[in-house]
């Protein structure tokens, strides 16, 4: 007879420990371990013959039917894009974000739209049905087909789901639902994990695409992030961009698509509106451009995005000059300063250097190197850079400018937004001229500075 196992799970990092401790040995957080009773797997059956007759026929991969399961298009292209091209039937998706980010609003809009073509079930444990109905009405959404349920009991929700057999289903949120037979409070690791597991089992069996809403704790992590990580197929974060009404939607894990896709929405009085041209937002520069500002084209998933990179170089008052990087990697900044010194003859050892990407965008690409470097030079020399100039390219330790992926598309995006000059890696310089744009290909730091 298999016994259930007691483990202690860290609420922060999700690691499992065999005994309780005041501090998580893995992430070092205090008072985060809580007990979790794991139902036992039938181990004994592994013994010879134990599974005889119970194993499904083994197959090689080429025997498996590859009939493509059509994805469900929601009509919200930004949303579909982040999911990797629409909703995958039977997939389990987690939508995370801070309270007020717009998770409920976005999902309500998506579900109302989908309910016009298929069975859809919207379960809310956080709001009353009246509140949901009022919101849908105010946003002018079609409400006649969407099935709704206000419930927090997992068993009751699954019962309703079994009746409706929806093709898409939302549970808002995973932190308020509870299984009666799990002896801990909603929101705790045991409850969240067990509820998500049961919903997932249902979704996989019924082929229902499931969206679980998850709130994020203050430090930006989903309560017990690792707890759900291995259960779900896709984890999406809805985040506020800076302090504005813009919201970005990003996949952190996606079994069915790329993870670096970006979808942009604006929270308006008519709900969440898609922003089809995000470059225009992140690039709201005034007519007067100060020294130290350079525009670059980052590649976000499958599309280019224009962002402004700023640098401020100033005499340092302390013994240790400051190196502050926001939106770009700190080490990258240090590396660029070293390259600038060694290969550009520019000594910034007695200067504070601040770097920032405007609009709260985070740029992880090395393609930002060249733009950042030019911004530093511009600020140091106190000379403004032509407003019509964009730059991108990776800078190597030998002072060489290395090519980046999708150079052509980046240039087209810049040209579309009225940029007239570009400094790019030589290997990215297009053979055919780009309309209305003068492109300078550079192979080294010295050439880039000369082109400037
Ligand atoms: P909501 O979807 O409830 O956020 P979440 O489910 O992520 O907690 O959105 C709440 C915020 O959005 C709230 O502060 C009000 C604002 N909002 C608007 O500005 N316009 C609207 O049309 C709606 C429905 C909400
Ligand atoms: Mg909500």
Verify whether ligand 1 is closer than 6 Å to residue 208 (CB atom).
no
Nearest-CA residue for atom 24 of ligand 1 = 271
Q: Give residue-wise pLDDT tens across range 108-160.
A: 999 999 999 999 999 999 999 999 999 999 999 999 999 999 999 999 999 99
Amino acid 37: pLDDT: 73
Listed residues: CB within 5 A of ion ligand 2: 104
Amino acid 359: pLDDT: 76
Nearest-CA residue for atom 15 of ligand 1 = 100
CA of 172 to the centre of ligand 2 (A): 7
For residue 82 the two structure tokens come to 């982040």
Instruction: Give the side-chain half-sphere CA count within 13 A for 69.
Output: 12
Q: Give residue-wise pLDDT tens across range 373-407.
A: 999 999 999 999 988 999 999 999 999 999 999 99
Verify whether ligand 1 is closer than 6 Å to residue 417 (CB atom).
no
Long-range pairs of 243-252 with CB within 8 A, sequence gap ≥ 24: 244/359, 246/275, 246/281, 247/101, 247/102, 247/272, 249/78, 249/79, 249/82, 249/106, 250/82, 251/82, 251/83, 251/84
Amino acid 374: pLDDT: 96
Contacts of 214 (CB under 8 A, 6+ apart): 94, 95, 96, 173, 174, 175, 222, 223, 228
Amino acid 163: pLDDT: 94
Fold topology of 281-451 = Ribosomal Protein S5; domain 2 (3.30.230)
For residue 392 the two structure tokens come to 């991108």
Verify whether ligand 1 is closer than 6 Å to residue 188 (CB atom).
no
CATH of span 69-276: 3.40.50.300
Verify whether ligand 1 is closer than 6 Å to residue 99 (CB atom).
yes
Amino acid 2: pLDDT: 53
Give me the residue label for tokens 């990580």.
229
d(Cα 223, Cα 250) in Å, to the nearest integer?
18
Is this structure's pTM higher than 0.85?
no
Verify whether ligand 1 is closer than 6 Å to residue 186 (CB atom).
no
Amino acid 45: pLDDT: 46
Tens-binned pLDDT, residue by residue, of the chain (452 aa): 456 778 888 877 777 888 898 998 888 888 888 887 766 554 544 455 555 555 667 888 888 777 777 899 999 999 999 998 999 999 999 999 888 899 999 999 999 999 999 999 999 999 999 999 999 999 999 999 999 999 999 999 999 999 999 999 999 989 899 999 888 788 878 888 899 999 999 999 999 999 999 988 766 565 555 678 888 999 998 988 765 688 889 888 899 887 777 888 999 999 999 988 877 777 766 667 889 999 999 987 777 889 999 999 999 998 899 999 999 999 999 999 999 999 999 999 999 999 999 877 788 899 999 999 999 999 999 999 988 999 999 999 999 999 999 999 899 889 988 899 999 999 999 988 888 899 999 999 999 999 98
Contact 363, 328 (CB under 8 A): yes
DSSP 239: E
d(Cα 18, Cα 198) in Å, to the nearest integer?
24
Contact 101, 238 (CB under 8 A): yes
Return the best residue to mutate from 96, 100, 127 for the ligand 1 pocket (most ligand atoms within 8 A of CB). 100
d(Cα 387, Cα 226) in Å, to the nearest integer?
45
Verify whether ligand 1 is closer than 6 Å to residue 102 (CB atom).
yes
Kindly list the domain boundaries of the chain, sorted by start residue. 4-43, 69-276, 281-451
Going through 72-187 in order, the beta strands assigned E by DSSP cover 92-97, 120-124, 147-150, 168-172
What does each C-alpha distance from 116 to 80, 86, 143, 159 come to in angstroms?
A: 17, 16, 9, 23
Amino acid 332: pLDDT: 95
Ligand nearest to the CA of 107: 1
Amino acid 287: pLDDT: 64
**Bridge partners, 148 (sequence order):** 122
d(Cα 255, Cα 252) in Å, to the nearest integer?
10
Verify whether ligand 1 is closer than 6 Å to residue 101 (CB atom).
yes
Amino acid 114: pLDDT: 96
């Amino acid at each position: 007879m298999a016994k259930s196992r007691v483990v202690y799970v860290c609420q922060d990092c999700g690691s499992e420990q065999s005994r309780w401790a005041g501090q998580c040995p893995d992430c070092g957080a205090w008072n985060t371990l809580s007990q979790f009773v794991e139902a036992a797997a039938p181990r004994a059956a592994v013994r010879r013959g134990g599974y005889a007759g119970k194993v499904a026929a083994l197959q090689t991969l080429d025997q498996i039917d590859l009939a493509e399961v059509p994805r469900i298009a929601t009509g919200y292209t930004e949303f579909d894009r982040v999911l990797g091209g629409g909703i995958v039937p039977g997939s389990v998706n987690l939508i995370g974000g801070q309270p007020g980010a717009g998770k409920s609003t976005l999902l309500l809009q998506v579900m109302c739209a989908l309910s016009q073509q298929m069975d859809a079930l919207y379960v809310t444990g956080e709001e009353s049905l009246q509140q949901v109905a009022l919101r849908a009405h105010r946003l002018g959404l079609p409400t006649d087909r969407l099935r709704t349920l206000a419930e927090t009991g997992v068993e009751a929700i699954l019962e309703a789901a079994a009746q409706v057999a929806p093709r898409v289903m939302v549970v808002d949120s995973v932190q308020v639902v509870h299984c009666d037979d799990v002896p801990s409070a909603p929101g705790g690791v045991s409850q969240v994990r067990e509820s998500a597991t049961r919903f997932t089992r249902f979704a996989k069996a019924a082929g229902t695409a499931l969206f679980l809403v998850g709130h994020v704790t203050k430090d930006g992590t989903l309560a017990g992030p690792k707890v759900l990580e291995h259960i779900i197929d896709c984890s999406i974060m809805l985040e506020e961009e800076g302090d504005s009404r813009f919201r970005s939607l990003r996949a952190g894990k996606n079994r069915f698509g790329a993870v670096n896709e970006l979808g942009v929405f604006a929270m308006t009085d008519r709900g969440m509106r898609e922003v089809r041209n995000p470059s225009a937002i992140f690039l709201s520069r005034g007519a007067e451009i100060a020294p130290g500002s350079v525009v670059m084209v980052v590649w976000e998933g499958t599309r280019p995005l224009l962002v402004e990179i700023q640098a401020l170089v100033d005499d340092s008052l302390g013994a240790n000059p400051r190196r502050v990087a926001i939106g770009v990697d700190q080490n990258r900044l240090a590396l660029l300063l070293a390259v600038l010194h060694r290969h550009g003859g520019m000594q910034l050892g007695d200067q504070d250097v601040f770097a920032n990407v405007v609009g709260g965008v985070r740029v992880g690409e090395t393609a930002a190197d060249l733009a950042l470097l030019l911004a530093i030079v511009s600020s140091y020399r106190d000379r403004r850079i032509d407003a019509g100039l964009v730059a991108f390219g990776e800078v190597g330790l030998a002072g060489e400018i290395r090519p980046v992926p999708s150079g052509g598309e980046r240039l087209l995006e810049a040209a579309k937004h009225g940029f007239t000059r570009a400094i790019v890696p030589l290997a990215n310089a297009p053979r055919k001229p780009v309309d209305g744009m003068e492109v300078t290909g550079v192979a080294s730091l010295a050439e880039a500075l000369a082109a400037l």
